[in-house]
């Protein structure tokens, strides 16, 4: 018997008891929709968390915070020697290292000024890591600097009032520096407490470049990149490593010497996401304190995987309940169709064919139910994502801070549901199908023996 004909038989049989078949399909669809919607909450929350984590960080980036000191149990900062080790590791694309001026440098250009973070960077490695300029060039001379994209936007007139910022925290246009910046003279003023008095030193610089706008909407780059020579000049003035500003109320820190020639921010960029774990493991073996979003993602994904498995398990119970309906429908079908089965067997139908027709019918019910359930769950998922933020807004009077996805249905979820549903319907249809093959021809045809 051809498969096409078996399907035709199944459809004919299903038409005979439309209401009963419809109710069974409905129960299966509800079970499937329950499973998918329940698990979709796990998938949705995971997506939200992962999105939040990956948006904050570059996925191929590994932060190195220092190296464990074997005997003392503490950590020391990363040195030039460590950088050379990092650069030799396999699949490392770039190692950026920055020294931070340990006080806020006050920058001024004519009648405009702005306090900003002052950084010494290694430009070849920064470029390898993806640093691009929106205008100008990279510094060549010792007094040349590159400023962050948002630096000119915050360069305010010196006597600007306190309400110089608008509602969004942006400097109002009337107080903002509007002249050109490339090639202009910029002065940095640094301070230090000397003999109880605060002294200042101003160093002239030249702006040669402006970095590219940060790709992330929320990110703001207001830093100023100075040369190592300028930093040395500042250190000579302050008498402390990296221009550390002494406080009149506290003592001079004793461990300052360890910060000499060390880096405050070291980032290793892997060639691809897959390489991150390997590099992290090697660094860990060498006792470096590292952090990468991939490590964190691994743990988060593990927790969510357990949660999703639990939700799918609970959802499967709903399908198992629906399978009782399928079992009942198929048992009734076998009982009702016993005379027809008898006739078919009498004229030469193989018991395997009979069994296959009934299994096909139960799986047909299961699959239609699963497909309807999948469609319904997509609708519910869409409605939930649309309605819950509105409900939260109505109930609490404010919007959700993070863009939370409450329900997400990846392609794999309906596939899992359909596979579970198919398996369950085959199991629930198996016994009735087996019973159909055992229908006695003579009893079914009510013939005398």
Partner 1 sequence: MITVKKLSHDFVIGKKGRQTIIPILRDISFSVEKGEIVTIVGRSGSGKSTLLNLVSGFIHPKEGEIWISGEKVSNLNEAKFADFRIHNLGFIFQSFQLIPSMTAFQNVELPLILKGINEGERRKQTEEMLKKVGLLDYQDHYPGELSGGQQQRVSIARALIVNPPIILADEPTGSLDSETEEDLLKFIKELNRDLGITFLIITHDDKVAEIGHRTIELRDGRIFEEVRLVCN
Nearest Cα neighbor of 102 from 273, 252, 289, 208 is 252
Size of the chain in residues = 449
Window contacting partner 1 (CB under 8 A); options: 24-32, 55-63, 97-105, 349-357: 349-357
- For the chain, the distance separating the N- and C-terminal CA atoms, rounded to the nearest angstrom, is 30
How far apart are CB 434 and partner 1 at their closest, in Å? Answer: 13
Check residue 394 for interaction with partner 1 (CB under 8 A): no
How far apart are CB 19 and partner 1 at their closest, in Å? Answer: 16
Per CB under 8 A, which of residues 201..260 are in contact with partner 1? none
The number of helix segments (H) and strand segments (E) in the chain equals 11, 16
Among 259, 308, 345, 356, binds partner 1 (CB under 8 A): 345
Check residue 356 for interaction with partner 1 (CB under 8 A): no
DSSP labels, 88-154: HSTTEEEEEEEEE-SS-EEEEETTEEEEE-EEEE-HHHHHHHT--EEEE----STTEEEE-TTTGGG
Among 349, 368, 375, 376, binds partner 1 (CB under 8 A): 349
Nearest Cα neighbor of 347 from 430, 238, 254, 445 is 445
Among 287, 350, 400, 403, binds partner 1 (CB under 8 A): 350
Check residue 308 for interaction with partner 1 (CB under 8 A): no
Among 306, 309, 346, 415, binds partner 1 (CB under 8 A): 346
Check residue 442 for interaction with partner 1 (CB under 8 A): yes
- Provide the strand spans (E) within 256-313: 262-263, 265-270, 288-292
Nearest Cα neighbor of 147 from 94, 176, 91, 188 is 188
How far apart are CB 5 and partner 1 at their closest, in Å? Answer: 5
Give the containing element (helix H, strand E) for 364. Answer: helix 351-396
Window contacting partner 1 (CB under 8 A); options: 77-85, 310-318, 380-388, 438-446: 438-446
Window contacting partner 1 (CB under 8 A); options: 22-30, 240-248, 345-353, 370-378: 345-353
Phi, psi of 197 (to 5 degrees): -115, 145
d(CA 192, CA 435): 94
Give, as one character, the DSSP assignment of residue 171: B
Check residue 338 for interaction with partner 1 (CB under 8 A): no
Check residue 334 for interaction with partner 1 (CB under 8 A): no
Among 110, 115, 351, 389, binds partner 1 (CB under 8 A): 351
Among 352, 387, 391, 393, binds partner 1 (CB under 8 A): 352
How far apart are CB 6 and partner 1 at their closest, in Å? Answer: 9
Interacting residues toward partner 1 by CB under 8 A: 1-2, 4-5, 12, 16, 339-340, 343-353, 441-442, 445-449
């Amino acid at each position: 018997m051809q498969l096409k004909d078996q399907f035709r038989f199944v459809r004919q049989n299903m038409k005979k008891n439309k209401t009963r078949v419809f109710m069974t399909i409905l129960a299966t669809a509800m079970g499937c929709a329950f499973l998918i919607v329940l698990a979709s909450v796990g998938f949705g929350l995971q997506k939200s968390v992962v999105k939040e984590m990956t948006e904050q960080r570059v996925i191929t980036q590994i932060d190195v915070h220092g190296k464990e000191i074997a005997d003392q149990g503490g950590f020391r900062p990363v040195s030039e020697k460590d950088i050379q080790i990092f650069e030799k590791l396999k699949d490392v694309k770039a190692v950026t290292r920055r020294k931070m001026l340990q006080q806020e440098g006050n920058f001024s250009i004519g009648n405009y000024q702005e306090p900003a973070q002052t950084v010494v960077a290694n430009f070849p490695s920064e470029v390898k890591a993806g640093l691009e300029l929106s205008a100008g060039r990279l510094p060549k001379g010792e007094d040349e600097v590159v400023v962050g994209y948002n630096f000119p936007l915050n360069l305010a007139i010196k006597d600007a009032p306190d309400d110089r910022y608008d509602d969004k925290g942006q400097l109002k246009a009337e107080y903002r520096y509007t002249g050109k910046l490339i090639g202009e003279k910029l002065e940095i003023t640094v301070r230090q407490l000397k003999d109880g008095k605060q002294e200042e030193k101003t160093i002239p610089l030249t702006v040669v470049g402006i970095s590219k706008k940060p790709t992330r909407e929320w990110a703001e780059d207001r830093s100023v990149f100075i040369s190592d020579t300028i930093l040395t000049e500042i250190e000579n003035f302050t008498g402390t490593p990296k221009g550390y500003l002494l406080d009149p109320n506290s003592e001079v820190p004793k461990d300052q010497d360890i910060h000499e020639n060390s880096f405050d921010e070291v980032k290793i960029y892997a060639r691809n996401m897959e390489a991150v774990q390997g590099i992290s493991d090697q660094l860990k073996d060498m006792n470096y304190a590292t952090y990468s979003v991939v490590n964190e993602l691994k743990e988060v994904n593990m927790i969510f995987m357990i949660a999703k498995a639990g939700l799918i398990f609970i959802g499967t119970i709903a399908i198992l309940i629906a399978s009782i309906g399928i079992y009942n429908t198929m048992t009734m079908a076998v009982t009702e169709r016993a005379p027809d089965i008898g006739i078919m067997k009498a004229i030469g139908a193989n018991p395997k064919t009979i069994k296959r027709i009934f299994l096909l019918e139960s799986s047909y019910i299961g699959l239609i139910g699963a497909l309807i359930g999948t469609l319904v769950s997509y609708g519910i998922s869409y409605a939930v994502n649309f309605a819950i933020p509105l409900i939260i807004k109505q109930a609490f009077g404010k919007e959700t801070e993070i863009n939370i996805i409450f329900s997400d249905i990846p392609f794999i979820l309906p596939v899992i549901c359909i596979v579970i549903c198919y398996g369950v319907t085959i199991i629930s249809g198996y016994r009735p199908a087996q019973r159909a093959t055992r229908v006695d021809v003579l009893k079914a045809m009510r013939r005398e023996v």
